[in-house]
Amino acid sequence: MKRSSGVRLCATAAVSVLSLALVTGCSDGGSKNSAGSGGSKGSEPAAKALSAAELKKLIIAEGEVPGYKVGPVEGGIPADDKVKADDAKCDPLLDALTGVAPGEPAVHTSRMATENKKDPTDDATSLDDLADGKFEDALKKSMDLDVTVVTLASYDGDGAEKGLRAVSDAVKACSGGFSGVQDGEKGKFTKVAEEKSSGTGDESVAFTATNDTGDEGPLPLHAEVVRHGNTLATYSTINIGAMMNKKAYTVSAPVIKAQAAKLK
């Protein structure tokens, strides 16, 4: 087919939408108290991490996010030692983008929230059977939905504050972009920019990491990390259809709202 192999790869890679490998393949052809500007919301007593069972009760579940299906992360969250930036100071960004909990959590758990399709698609014809033009149109429709990975992590002491601070510091330090590897697959982001965060929790930081080197144009990934006491909620969202349509998108607000409500 004449269309860039990166587009077709995007369609088949959707089950691991937040992997650095996806970004590599496709590129072939403020808050109530923002960690980026305000720091911690006062001193708090040393805290003890939640148990694994307690944390699992707090993460979003099916039926709790209107307009979204919630379930396990397809393909799973990569092991921390399998996700590395070429420059160590950028590791926290790559962790957040791939659903790895920042810092050194005592326990963590993850879910994937997938937006319901806005328009019905023709199930009688697979994307691979379509001609180039129709393939692209069908792909844009079928992939124009937000997919968000949510990771909750609980920390002892001030571990949550340190984890959030590491992400905030990395947004500034790595604004010019960075390269990294996940499970042996190399990828590159050409720029990182802080975004206005949701304003939930005690403090938060949001950012976009963009790859702007390929024929497909800018390919942005969006992430936000929010501290609720000694728990960090990390959100990472991708919308492949929006990328292909050059349409702006952000971390899914309904997902953040639903998760924040469970952490109050």
Write down the architecture of domain 5-119+126-262 according to CATH.
Answer: 3-Layer(aba) Sandwich (3.40)
The per-residue pLDDT for 184 is 75
For the segment 191-220, the average pLDDT, to the nearest whole number, is 90
Edge-to-edge order in the sheet of strand 191-195: 68-71, 107-115, 147-154, 231-238, 219-228, 203-211, 191-195
User: Measuring CA to CA, which residue among 78, 75, 43, 32 is closest to residue 183?
Assistant: 78
Query: 147 vs 20, which has greater pLDDT?
Result: 147
Instruction: Give the whole-angstrom CA distance, residue 94 versus residue 80.
Output: 10
Both ends of the chain: CA-CA distance in Å?
51
User: Domain coordinates of the chain in residue numbers?
Assistant: 5-119+126-262
Band of residue 194 on the pLDDT scale cut at 50, 70, 90: very high
- Over residues 90-121, the pLDDT tens digits come to 999 999 998 999 999 999 999 999 999 865 44
Calculate the CA dihedral of residues 128, 132, 138, 139 and round it to 10 degrees: 70
Instruction: Give the whole-angstrom CA distance, residue 36 versus residue 165.
Output: 8
- Over residues 214-231, the pLDDT tens digits come to 777 788 999 999 999 999
The per-residue pLDDT for 80 is 81
Q: What is the pTM (predicted TM-score) of this model? A: 0.82
For the segment 140-165, the average pLDDT, to the nearest whole number, is 92
Mean pLDDT, the chain, integer: 81
The per-residue pLDDT for 10 is 42
